[in-house]
Chain A
Amino acid sequence: MNKPWRLLKGWDHLVSTADGLAVDDCLAHTVSEQGSAPILHLYRFKPSVIVGKYQDIEAALNLDRCRARGVEYNRRSTGGGTVIMGERVVALGFGISLDHPRMNRSINAIFRVMSSILIRALKNLGVEAVFRPKNDLEVEGKKIAGLSASSEVGSGILFHCSMLVDFDIPLMLDIMNVPAEKNYEKGYNCFSQRLTTIERELGRPVSMDEVMEAIWRSYEEEFQVEFAPDELSPWEKVKVGELKVSRYEDPRWIFSQRHPRNRMGEALRKTRGGLLQVYLSLSGSIIEQVIITGDFFSSSADINRIESVLKWTPAVKQHILDNLGSVWTEEIIYGVEMEELAETIVQARINGFAAA
Chain B
Amino acid sequence: MAIIQEYNMPDELYYHEEHSWAKVESDGTVTVGMDDFFQKEAGDIVFVDLPSEEDEVEQDEVCGKIQSRKWIGKLCAPISGEITAVNEALEDDFSLINSDPYGSGWVIKIKPSNLDEDLGNLFHGSKLEEWIKAEIKRAEEEKAKAG
Contacts of A108 in B (CB 8 A): 41, 139, 142-143, 146
Contacts of A316 in B (CB 8 A): 95
Contacts of A9 in B (CB 8 A): none
Among B40-98, those with CB < 8 Å from A are 41-42, 44, 46-47, 49, 62, 65, 67-74, 91-95
Contacts of A54 in B (CB 8 A): 46-47, 49, 67, 72
Closest to A258 in B: B49
> With an 8 A cutoff between CB atoms, is A260 at the interface?
yes
A150 and B92 contact, CB distance less than 8 A: no
B142 and A109 contact, CB distance less than 8 A: yes
Closest to A150 in B: B72
Task: Using A285-B92, A285-B93, A314-B95 as known contacts, say yes or no to A107 and B47 having CB atoms under 8 A apart.
Answer: no
> With an 8 A cutoff between CB atoms, is B138 at the interface?
yes
B73 and A107 contact, CB distance less than 8 A: yes
B94 and A286 contact, CB distance less than 8 A: yes
Among A101-145, those with CB < 8 Å from B are 104-109, 111-112, 134-135
> Least Cβ distance of A255 to chain B in Å?
15
Task: Using A106-B142, A285-B92 as known contacts, say yes or no to A314 and B73 having CB atoms under 8 A apart.
Answer: no
Q: How far apart sit A22 and B72, CA to CA, in the bound complex (Å)?
A: 17
> Least Cβ distance of B48 to chain A in Å?
9
> Least Cβ distance of A199 to chain B in Å?
25
B72 and A284 contact, CB distance less than 8 A: no
> With an 8 A cutoff between CB atoms, is A147 at the interface?
yes
Q: How far apart sit A135 and B71, CA to CA, in the bound complex (Å)?
A: 10
**Number of chain B residues whose Cβ lies closer than 8 Å to a Cβ of chain A:** 28
Q: How far apart sit A78 and B71, CA to CA, in the bound complex (Å)?
A: 6
Closest to B95 in A: A314
Complex interface bits, A63-81 against B, C-beta within 8 A gives 1, otherwise 0: 0000000000000011111
Residue pairs across A and B with CB atoms within 8 Å: the count is: 98
Q: How far apart sit A104 and B142, CA to CA, in the bound complex (Å)?
A: 8
> Least Cβ distance of A222 to chain B in Å?
13
Complex interface bits, A138-168 against B, C-beta within 8 A gives 1, otherwise 0: 0000000011111111000000000000000
* A105 CB contact (under 8 Å) in B42, B69, B74, B138: B138
A53 and B46 contact, CB distance less than 8 A: no
B95 and A53 contact, CB distance less than 8 A: no
A79 and B67 contact, CB distance less than 8 A: yes
Q: How far apart sit A82 and B46, CA to CA, in the bound complex (Å)?
A: 16
> Least Cβ distance of A248 to chain B in Å?
16
> Least Cβ distance of B40 to chain A in Å?
11
Task: Using A108-B146, A319-B95 as known contacts, say yes or no to A286 and B72 having CB atoms under 8 A apart.
Answer: no
Contacts of A105 in B (CB 8 A): 138
B72 and A149 contact, CB distance less than 8 A: yes
Q: List 15 A-B contacts (CB under 8 A).
A: A54-B49, A79-B68, A79-B71, A104-B142, A105-B138, A108-B139, A148-B71, A152-B65, A152-B74, A312-B46, A312-B68, A313-B44, A314-B44, A314-B93, A319-B95
The 7 closest A-B pairs by CB, nearest first: A80-B70, A150-B72, A148-B70, A79-B70, A135-B70, A54-B47, A134-B69
